[in-house]
Amino acid sequence: MSNNLYNKVYNYGALIMLSFWYKEFPQYPKDHKDFWRTRLIAHSLLITTCYFLVLTLLNLFYFASYEIALIDAFGLFISLGICIWFNKTANVNVASWAVTLMIVSLILMFVISVGGHAHSLFWATLIPPFTFFLVGRNWGSIFSAVAFAICAYLVYLQQQQTVTIGLGSLFNLIEVGLAHILIFRFYEKTRFSAYTRLSIRNLEIQHLAETDKLTGLYNRQKFDFELSQLIAKNDVFKTPHCLLICDIDHFKNINDTYGHLVGDNVLTEFAKILKKRMRNYALIAR
């Protein structure tokens, strides 16, 4: 019972924290072009703020690595500064570049400062997903190429050295692994959302292209296509089909006497009768 209560309190607290965090950022509908970039900026600033805070404390009090702690503290203040500025301006493009430059520069500063040791090079693998999503594939390619070139040079300098695996290496691997999980969870969510919206939009477009706007029946284009398909199947399977052509007697007199709006109502009601009387698999077109 106590564990369930703890889990509920923890989940509720985390939900409140995330809701409060995202509430401070610009809000866009899901079909807006900047919705997911804004979410990624918010994700990035939340993650970097928490990471830099934890890393600053670890390097300051546990590892006694004051130079690295200074870099982490610098990153913490930059992350908070971008967060405050973005909340006030809501400029997605500038914020995307600011977050990109912050992440790339701080990762490279950290990797270079430790000479690529303690498996710090793994941090460079975070640069491509961030940069590609935030500033596009062209600039993402440039940032990634520069970062990996620097990493390759550091590896070249280490080729005659003995690689040691310590607690710092373990922390780097765990932190980078968690960051990758969060990034790709976010990517998968955006991909699934975009695919779902695209599928719905395609179905709507297909429905509009095949349907008569007035009666809701299939239109001539859909009828011609389905008829050609049935004829082709009949040539192979010799399956009998039935074609029924309906005409409303004196329909022109209805339009001339009562007007076209009444004529449209007659067509609509006639279409409803056909739908009700015909079988579900029957194709009814106007």
Q: What is the pLDDT of residues 125-177, one digit of tens each?
A: 888 888 888 888 888 888 888 888 888 888 777 766 665 666 666 676 777 77
Domain annotation covers residue 140 = yes
Whether residues 251 and 146 share a domain: the answer is: no
Domain annotation covers residue 286 = no
pLDDT band at 10 (very low <50, low <70, confident <90, very high): very low
pLDDT (tens digit per residue) in 188-202: 677 777 777 778 888
Whether residues 98 and 24 share a domain: the answer is: yes
The residue among 205, 235, 250 that closes a domain is: 205
Question: Which domain, by its residues, includes 255?
Answer: 212-277
Whether residues 198 and 220 share a domain: the answer is: no
pLDDT (tens digit per residue) in 34-66: 777 777 787 778 877 887 888 888 888 888 888
Domain annotation covers residue 9 = no
Whether residues 223 and 201 share a domain: the answer is: no
The residue among 148, 176, 205 that closes a domain is: 205
Whether residues 115 and 180 share a domain: the answer is: yes
The residue among 186, 205, 224 that closes a domain is: 205
pTM: 0.57
Whether residues 268 and 178 share a domain: the answer is: no
pLDDT the model gives residue 166: 62
Whether residues 261 and 140 share a domain: the answer is: no
Q: In total, how many domains does the chain have?
A: 2
pLDDT the model gives residue 151: 83
Domain annotation covers residue 234 = yes
| Separation of alpha carbons 51 and 215, rounded Å | 60
User: Does position 9 have pLDDT exceeding 50, yes or no?
Assistant: no
Domain annotation covers residue 155 = yes
Q: Any idea what DSSP says for residue 60?
A: I
281 vs 218 pLDDT, higher one: 218
